[in-house]
Structure 1
Amino acid sequence: MTTNEHMVELALERIGEGYVFPEKTAAIETAIRGRLAAGAYEGLDGPALCETVTADLQEVCPDKHLRLLWTDEPQSTAPVDDDGGEAAFRALLREENQGIRRVERLEGNVGLIELRLIATAAEGASAIGAAMQLVAHSSALVLDLRGCRGGSPEGAAMWCSYFFPDDQVHLNDIYDRCTDSTRQFWTVAHLPAPRYVDRPVHVLTSEVTFSGGEDVAYTLQAHGRAVVVGGTTRGGAHPTARHAVAEHVLVTVPTARSINTVTGTNWEGVGVVPDLPVPADQALEEALKAISRRTM
C-alpha cells in the first residue's frame, strides 16, 4: 500500500467511526475506494492529495466540513495524542487574540467588534468580556463576522449571551453521534462584562463567514436579536473533530449537528441568508445607514 493509499484509508476509517450521518458513510467509502482503485491519488503531493480527496468527498457528500487538510505544522499521529484538534485550536486562539481582531468606537457612538475566530468559552471569556466592556456604552453595535472562519459552539453561545437579558434563552442544541446525546445551549448566567440589551445589533457576513461565525449570525438572527447585513455565508453547521492521518495531513470529520430552537434546523449547505443582502465590502456602510435611520 502506498503512502497516499494509507492516508486515504485512515481518513475513511475516521469518517466511518465518527461522521454524524452514519447512513452516508457507505456511499462515501464506495466512492473514494473507487477513486483509489482507479489510481486517482497516485503521485499526488500532500496539498494536491488533500484538494483532490476533498473534492471527491464533497461530490458524494456535500458537507463543507468533511475534508482533508494540509498543515505546515507537523502533527502527532500517536493515538494517545489525538484530541480531535483541540490543543492546536487553543494554540491558534492564543496567537490570534482569542479571535478578536479589533474593537472600535465609530462616529455616532456605534461600537464595532471584528472577529476572525470564535474562542472557547473557558479560555476566551476574559477577552470576550474585555471587548464587550469597551462597547458597553455605545448606542448601537456592529459585529463584523465577514472574516470569521469558525470556532467553538460554547464560545458562540457566550457571544450570543451578551445580547439577551438573562440566562433563560434556549439558543440551540447540538446532537453528537459518538455519545448519541443532545446538548442544550442556553444563554450564560454570569458574564464578565455588562449585557448589551435594548440597543440595535447588526451582524456583518460574507461568503467567507463559516461554522462558528455562522452560528453566532444565525442564532442572533433566528431569535430576532440582530439584523444580518452582507453576503450569504458558506454553510457549515456541523461541529467537527480533526484527526492526523499523517504528520501534515488532517481529516476533518463532522461528528455533530446543530439544531436551532426557533427554526428547528440549521444553516448547513444553505448558509446564513442576510436580512439586508449587499456585497460584503459594502456591508459596514449599509449597516451604519440602517442604524442611522433607526436612531433618528
Structure 2
Amino acid sequence: MTTPTRFRPAPVIDETARLLIEHYVFPETAEQLTDLLQRRLAEGAYDVDSAEELGRLVTEDLQSVNGDRHLRLKYHAAPVPPEQGAATLTAMRRDFDISLGGAPRVELLDGGVAVVELAPALFPLEWAAEPLSAALTLASRARALIVDLRANQGGDPDTVAFVCSYLLDERTHLNTMHWRDGERREQSWSLPHVPGARFGGSKPLYVLSSGITFSGAEELTYNLQQLGRAVVVGERTGGGAHPREGWTVHPHLEATIPLGRPVNPVSGTNWEGTGVQPDIPCAAADSLDRAHELALARLAG
C-alpha cells in the first residue's frame, strides 16, 4: 500500500515571500510579512494536510499586519492555471457568462426611477463594454437612477471609469494610482465620449452599498460620492482599495498581492480599511426602497 505524500508548505511559503518582496506596494510591510511567514513556518504553524487549510492560515497572517484584504493566499478547488492572473480570469469569465455580462437587472420603478444592478463584478472592459452600454443606455431616459452595487465584489478600474462616464457630463479626473516604486503614477479619467446615451450628470443618482461591496465596486461608489454626483444608500462597504495581481504558487493556491495605492483627487485618500461610508445608512436589504423614496421625494420637490 502506498503511503500518501504529506502536504509540504515550505515551497509555497518561500514563493509567497519572494513575491511579497518583489511586488507588494508597501516594501517595508512586505519585509515584516516575510519575516512573519518564515517564523510561523519554522514554528510548525503551517504543518497542515491540505492546501485549503494552508491558504486560510496564511491569509490570516498576511492580513494581520495592516489589514489589507486584497492580500491573500487564495484556495481554488479546481487546479489553478500556471499563467499569472489566469485563475482570476477563469473564475470571472464563468461569472460573466451567467450574469448577462455583469448587468443582470434593469428595471423601471414607479415615478420614472430606473434600477441598474451591476453584479457580481465589473468585468474587464473588453468583455463588458457592450452589455454595460446597453443597460446604461436603456436607463438613460429615466428621471432618476439607482445603481445597485450591493452584490458587486470588484473588478476592472477601466470598467469603473466607463460606468462613471455614463453618469457625468464632462471628462472628469476620477483617481490617481500610485505604484510601488513611488515614482510612477497613473491617472484615471471618465471618457469624453461613450457608445450609446448618457444618463448624464444632473438627474438624481443613488448608489446602493452593502458590506459585500468591495474593491472596484467601492471605487465606483467612492468616485461618485466624492464628486458629489451620487447619494450612497445602505451599509459601509468592505474596505479594499489596493489593486492586486495573482500568482500561482501551488496547483490549488494563488498568492494575490496588491501593486498600487489609489488616491482620490477630492479627498486625497481612499477607502482602504475604512470602507465607503454611506450618506444614508440603512440595512442593505432596505436600501432599494429607501433610495426609491428619496428619488421620488426629490423629483416631487
User: Could you tell me the TM-score, scaled by structure 1's length?
Assistant: 0.94
The alignment yields a C-alpha RMSD, in angstroms, of 1.8
**Contact 1:18–1:178 under 8 Å retained in 2:** no
Whichever residue aligns with residue 40 of structure 2, its letter is R
Aligned to 1:244: 248
- SS in structure 2 of the partner of residue 60 of structure 1: coil
Match of 1:278 in 2: 282
Q: Is the 8 A contact 2:102 2:131 kept in 1?
A: no
2:3 matched residue in structure 1: none
Q: Which residue of 2 aligns with 1:170?
A: 173
Give CA-to-partner distance per residue, 1:267-289, whole Å, 9 cap, x none: 00000000000011111111111
The farther-off stretch of 194-203 and 118-127 is 118-127
Counterpart residue type for residue 150 of structure 2:
R
Q: 1:185 aligns with which of 177, 188, 192?
A: 188
1:53-132 to 2 correspondence within 5 Å?
53-77=58-82, 81-83=83-85, 87-88=89-90, 91-92=93-94, 94-95=96-97, 96-116=99-119, 117-132=121-136
Question: Which amino acid is the alignment partner of residue 25 of structure 2?
Answer: V
- The CA deviation at 1:6 is 1.1
What is the CA–CA distance in structure 2 between the aligned matches of 1:33 and 1:84, rounded to whole Å? 27
Determine helix, strand or coil for the equivalent of 1:155.
Answer: helix
Report deviation, 1:178: 6.1
Structure 2 partner of 1:21 = 26
Asked if 2 retains the 8 angstrom alpha-carbon contact of 1:166 and 1:189, the reply is yes
Q: Are 1:253 and 2:257 matched, yes or no?
A: yes
Q: Is the CA contact (8 Å cut-off) linking 1:214 and 1:271 kept in structure 2?
A: yes
CA–CA separation in structure 1 for the residues paired with 2:50 and 2:181: 32
Aligned to 1:160, the other structure's residue is in SS state helix
Matched position secondary structure for 2:177: strand
Give the equivalent residue in structure 2 for 1:294.
Answer: 298
Q: Secondary structure at the match of 2:178?
A: strand
CA distance in 1, matches of 2:87, 2:178: 19
- Alpha carbons of 1:275 and 1:100: their partners in 2 closer, same or farther (altered >3 Å)? same
User: How many residue pairs get matched?
Assistant: 292
Structure 2 residue 209 is the aligned partner of structure 1 residue 205: yes
Counterpart AA for 1:29? T
For structure 1, which runs of at least 5 residues remain unmatched after alignment? none
Q: 1:31·1:60 contact (CA, 8 Å) conserved in 2? A: no
CA distance in 2, matches of 1:93, 1:224: 32
Q: How big is the shift at 1:89?
A: 5.8
The 2-side partners of 1:98 and 1:13 are apart by 36
Deviation at 1:155, TM superposition (A): 0.5
Q: Relative to structure 2, which stretch is displaced further, 264-273 or 156-165?
A: 156-165
Residue type matched to 1:150 in 2? G
The structural deviation recorded for 1:76 is 2.6
More displaced, 29-38 or 41-50?
A: 41-50
1:262 to 234, 242, 266: 266
Percent identity over the alignment? 36
The CA deviation at 1:84 is 6.4
- Alignment partners' CA distance in 1, 2:180 and 2:127: 26
Provide the residue aligned with 1:136 in structure 2.
Answer: 140
Hey, what's the Cα distance between the residues in 1 that align with 2:108 and 2:162?
A: 22
